[in-house]
């Protein structure tokens, strides 16, 4: 069994939905994971925001506009009356459901139910299109097997058991279509795997079934050596180790959901990044194979908050770091980067929802300084400790940029540097030039 995930652009128009057929119709058994059509989840977020703000007229206008877009896609997608009618019924039902939230109070659970509509629509639309073209497929409801626990972590045991139970219902079937991104939470409510989560759905399914391969089809030919949205010249990296890919995804390479590499890595399932617009391109393969001695790629993660914590006692007493970290643990706020000195520790976080409470507790025994709007630039590669020169090359490229924190040696795969967000582009361009001669 292979798992193939297609992102928003790969199902972003009737034309793209049609061209998917060539990529999935072979007789090999496969599970196809689809995202919402590009722009849909953003539009649903906008609708939910309007509902939260009690701007129901605005919400209704946004809902109408999105529904119109879907109606026009249907006309282009289907050529037979029966499929078109099925599509119309589908769209009508989903938009009636979304519209029902304009009548009453709006809650966080309802927001999640709204955000799920994009993937429910795209998968059913593709399923009807396959049916119209005589290709048999099974629409597998992700809400029957994809689940997160009370810590918002995937419930692997539940996923494995329930996915296998679902598949058993269709013995002999080869092509399954399911929704990316959406899941249930520990209370059985509709939830999601966070933005970009369809990649995570694919790797969780791939790991649950120990599949032959997980393919992530998107709009670019593989992982590039630098962020193509920011620097002009980049090249695809043909081979990555799981560790390298995980660091790049976590530190901002948008092509992969931040934590989606881990399930594949645990079960040693290869992940291939491919371009749906250019299916012949080689892309990137992610496996255990660890290339030694190279600088592989650069990524950047925005929205970082730096917290400088200084002990109010003269010397760093033992137990100080534990007291600091306990506070972050209690507020379920994970730390990305750490640097320490004799009397101070600086950490970074990317989630400020509990920041006020954290600072209040820290101030009971420390002085605290906060810097918002920071960016972590992460240089990923294989830097074994007995090889010299990597840190020097990286820092030399950044000699004109004010550096707030540096982290080196935490793993053999990453050198991270914290800078003010306003220096991000300059930094990525400088690293491209010096490290990759681009």
Rounded to whole angstroms, the Cα distance separating 346 from 139 reads 49
- Tell me which of 2, 3, 4, 8 binds ligand ASP, using CB under 6 A: 8
**Rule CB under 6 A: which of 381-410 touch ligand ADP?**
none
- Tell me which of 180, 196, 252, 283 binds Mg ion, using CB under 5 A: 196
Q: Tokens for 261, please give them.
A: 């590499």
Is 118 a binding residue for Mg ion by CB under 5 A? The answer is: no
Q: Which residues pair with 420 in a beta bridge?
A: 374
Is 180 a binding residue for ligand ASP by CB under 6 A? The answer is: yes
Pick 33 or 327: Cβ nearer Mg ion: 33
C-alpha atoms less than 13 angstroms from C-alpha of 312 in its C-beta half-sphere: 8
Pick 18 or 195: Cβ nearer ligand ASP: 195
130 sits in which H/E element: helix 117-132
Stretch that binds Mg ion, among 179-187, 191-199, 238-246, 408-416 (CB under 5 A): 191-199
Strands 239-241 and 284-287: parallel
Q: How far is the CB of 276 from Mg ion (least distance, A)?
A: 12
Helix axes 424-436 and 390-397, enclosed angle (nearest 10): 130
| CB-based contact 147:184 (threshold 8 Å) | yes
Rounded to whole angstroms, the Cα distance separating 242 from 268 reads 9
How many residues in total does the chain contain?
Answer: 438
Q: How far is the CB of 254 from ligand ADP (least distance, A)?
A: 4
Counts for the chain of helices (H) and strands (E), in that order: 14, 16
Angle at the Cα of 267 from the Cα atoms of 334 and 196, rounded to 5 degrees: 50
Residue 180's binding partner among ligand ASP, ligand ADP, Mg ion, none (Cβ under 5 to 8 angstroms by kind) is ligand ASP
Q: How far is the CB of 155 from ligand ADP (least distance, A)?
A: 23
260 backbone dihedrals φ, ψ, rounded to 5°: -75, -15
Cβ atoms within 10 Å of 322's Cβ, excluding its own: 9
Q: How far is the CB of 274 from ligand ADP (least distance, A)?
A: 10
Pick 62 or 358: Cβ nearer ligand ASP: 62
| CB-based contact 296:235 (threshold 8 Å) | no
**Rule CB under 5 A: which of 231-270 touch Mg ion?**
none
| CB-based contact 139:123 (threshold 8 Å) | yes
**Rule CB under 6 A: which of 186-205 touch ligand ADP?**
196
**Residues 6+ positions from 171 with CB-CB distance below 8 Å:** none
Rounded to whole angstroms, the Cα distance separating 237 from 215 reads 16
* Contact flags string 22-41 toward ligand ADP, x per CB under 6 A: -------------x------
- Tell me which of 3, 142, 231, 253 binds ligand ADP, using CB under 6 A: 253
* Contact flags string 104-143 toward ligand ASP, x per CB under 6 A: --------------x-------------------------
- For tokens 């290339």, the residue is 291
- Tell me which of 16, 94, 184, 224 binds ligand ADP, using CB under 6 A: 224
For residue 144, count CB atoms less than 10 angstroms from its CB and return exposed for 0-12, middle for 13-18, buried for 19 or more.
middle
Is 196 a binding residue for ligand ASP by CB under 6 A? The answer is: yes
- Tell me which of 35, 179, 218, 241 binds ligand ASP, using CB under 6 A: 35
Is 131 a binding residue for ligand ADP by CB under 6 A? The answer is: no
Chain positions contacting ligand ADP, by CB under 6 A: 7-9, 35, 196, 218-220, 223-224, 227-229, 253-255, 299
Residues at the interface with ligand ASP (CB under 6 A):
7-8, 35-36, 41, 118, 180-181, 195-198
Residues within the interface to Mg ion (CB under 5 A): 7, 196
């Amino acid at each position: 069994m292979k798992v193939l995930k297609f992102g928003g652009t790969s199902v972003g128009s009737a034309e793209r939905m049609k061209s998917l057929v060539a990529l999935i119709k072979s007789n090999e058994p496969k599970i196809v994971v689809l995202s919402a059509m590009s722009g849909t989840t953003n539009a649903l977020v906008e609708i939910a925001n309007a509902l939260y703000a009690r701007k129901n007229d605005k919400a209704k206008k946004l809902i109408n506009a999105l529904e119109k877009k879907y109606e026009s896609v249907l006309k282009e997608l289907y050529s037979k009356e029966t499929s078109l009618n099925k599509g119309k019924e589908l769209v009508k039902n989903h938009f009636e459901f979304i519209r029902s939230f304009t009548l009453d109070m709006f809650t966080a659970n309802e927001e999640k139910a709204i955000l799920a509509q994009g993937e429910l629509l795209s998968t059913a639309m593709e399923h009807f299109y396959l049916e119209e073209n005589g290709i048999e497929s099974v629409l597998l409801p992700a809400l029957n097997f994809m689940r997160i626990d009370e810590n918002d972590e995937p419930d692997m045991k539940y996923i494995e058991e329930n996915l296998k139970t679902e598949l058993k219902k269709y013995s002999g079937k080869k092509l399954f279509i399911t929704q990316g991104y959406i899941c249930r939470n520990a209370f059985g409510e509709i939830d999601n795997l966070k933005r970009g989560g369809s990649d995570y759905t694919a790797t969780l399914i791939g790991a649950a079934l120990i599949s032959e391969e997980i393919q992530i089809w998107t709009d670019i030919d593989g992982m590039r050596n630098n962020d193509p949205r920011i620097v002009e010249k980049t090249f695809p990296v043909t081979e990555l180790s799981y560790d390298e890919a995980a660091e790049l995804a976590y530190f901002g390479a948008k092509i992969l959901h931040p934590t989606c590499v881990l399930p594949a890595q645990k079960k040693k399932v290869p992940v291939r990044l491919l371009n749906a617009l250019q299916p012949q391109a080689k892309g990137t393969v992610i496996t255990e194979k660890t290339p030694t001695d190279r600088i592989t790629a650069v990524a950047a993660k925005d929205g970082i908050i730096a917290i400088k914590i200084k002990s109010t006692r003269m010397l760093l007493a033992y137990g100080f770091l534990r007291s600091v970290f306990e506070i972050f643990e209690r507020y379920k706020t994970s730390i990305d980067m750490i640097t320490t000195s004799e009397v101070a520790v600086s950490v970074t976080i990317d989630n400020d929802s509990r920041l006020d409470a954290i600072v209040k507790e820290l101030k009971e025994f420390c002085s605290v300084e906060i810097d918002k709007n920071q960016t972590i630039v992460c240089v990923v590669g294989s830097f074994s400790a007995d090889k010299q020169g990597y840190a020097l090359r990286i820092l030399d490229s950044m000699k004109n940029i004010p550096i707030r924190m540096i982290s080196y040696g935490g793993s053999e795969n990453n050198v991270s540097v914290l800078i003010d967000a306003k220096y991000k582009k300059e930094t990525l361009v400088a690293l491209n030039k010096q490290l990759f001669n681009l």
